[in-house]
Structure 1
Amino acid sequence: MEKHIHSPNCNHDHEHDENHFDNEALDDNTVSIKDLVYSRQVIEMITVANDFCLFLEKCETLNKSQILEYLHRIAPLLYLKGSLLPDVQLSDPEATERFVNEIQWEAIFNSMKKILENSDTFYYTDSNLDTIEASIAEHLADIYQDLKDFVWLYQKDTLNPKQNAVFECKALFQTNWGIKLTEAMRAMHLVLFNQQILTSNSNNENWEND
């Protein structure tokens, strides 16, 4: 019968192999996180979010129709890109920062409210079936704050802030800016197309009178 000789170093070699595999798993996990953070879904979200924020920052130079035309096109795209963000874990809580302050928020809010005028107020029904009075300008300023923080945090040089930026953006999409975006979309849709219907009816009346 063949005898199996037990080497005194066998356990040590086995432990070494386990450590080796653990390190490989850790490396694979790190690569996986990096792939997610630099994925096409995240880059596209960054691109659309940055475009949205830059637009709101210069909105004072535009009229109501121009703003609503742009927003009613980019809002569904923002929602789509937010829903496609990958699932990542919060890395280092200390690597998460908020950048938009109250003054910057108020600047966006005041600009939008001034432009929208009497079209700013809208109503929606909450989960308790209560009717809530809301403001398009306030919703847009809140969305701007979440997305601008996302863009700025993602621009940090190291992986941890970028990872946290993706985590925060997806979490806030589910609990804040995604909800407010859908509410604002409906309100802007009604303002935009009611305005177009009124303009069309007015033009038809003028044509008939002529």
Structure 2
Amino acid sequence: MSDSGIHPLVYSKNVVEFVTVANEYCATIENVARHTPQENVSKLQKILPLLYLKAAVLPEVEPVMDEELEKFVSELDYSTLHQKWLQLLHRNDSYYEVFDPNIQFGEETVTASISENLVDIYQDLKDFITSYSIGNEEVMNDSLAECIFHFKEFWGQQLVNVLRAVHMLLVNNTDFSEEENDEPAPGKGNPKWLDNFWGTNEEDDLDV
């Protein structure tokens, strides 16, 4: 029997609204091939801030089960979606990470991947909404508790980081077309908009 306090929590307004936005985010990631690059990035610009807001106002939740939650996103699912977003973004997939514990007090820069960040967030949210949709209130509760923990420890930071990159792609009217002799290895690129964002095109200027 479910804990008497679980029912109102898992069906509360803030939780239901978060589920709705999380589901929309997952649909955006899954349906990448149905839209143009500009349309996809524009959708991300709108849904990422909303997703962060809805996650930030979720109530504190304590797990009630001893069993581990089932995971629904397979390695193949992850890899397939990752490749689709890499193909969409081409050389625009990379961006400089400016909030990373490894570079806070160092001289090196870290390059991150938009597609990898997006699918990492998707993985947590898809597992959550799939568990939530089962309808078992204890599973719903614990999947919510896990999702909130991961938001605080992991994907919340990824979200705000990748939003910065998405913003720059849009305001710079980025060309998403694939050009010959202008396509670095996936996830390793150094697009012009990225260098413009950093403020330099010369590696020597990065030294402190």
TM-score, normalization by structure 1 = 0.76
Matched with 1:77 is 50
Give matches, 1:44-123, under 5 Å: 44-94=17-67, 96-123=69-96
Instruction: Give per-residue Cα distances to partners, 1:49-89, cap 9 Å, x unaligned.
Output: 11111121111121110011100000000000111111111
2:125 to 143, 147, 170: 147
Matched with 1:192 is 170
Matched with 2:135 is 157
- Deviation (angstroms), 1:32: 2.9
- Deviation (angstroms), 1:95: 5.2
Instruction: Give per-residue Cα distances to partners, 1:137-177, cap 9 Å, x unaligned.
Output: 00001000000001001112321100011101100100111
Matched with 1:136 is 114
Q: Is the 8 A contact 1:53 1:144 kept in 2?
A: yes
- Measured in 2, the distance between the counterparts of 1:42 and 1:91 equals 17
* Secondary structure at the counterpart of residue 133 of structure 1: strand
Matched with 1:20 is none
Q: Which has the larger radius of gyration?
A: 1
* Aligned partner letter, 2:151: F
Give matches, 1:176-187, under 5 Å: 176-187=154-165
- Deviation (angstroms), 1:34: 1.9
- Measured in 2, the distance between the counterparts of 1:152 and 1:71 equals 21
2:11 pairs with 1:38: yes
Between 1 and 2, higher relative CO (CA 8 Å, sep ≥ 6) is seen in 2
Bigger share in helix: 1
Q: Is the 8 A contact 1:143 1:181 kept in 2?
A: yes
> Any gaps of 5 or more consecutive residues in structure 2?
175-208
Identity %, equivalent residues? 36
* Aligned partner letter, 2:28: F
Give matches, 1:6-17, under 5 Å: none
Q: CA RMSD in A?
A: 1.7
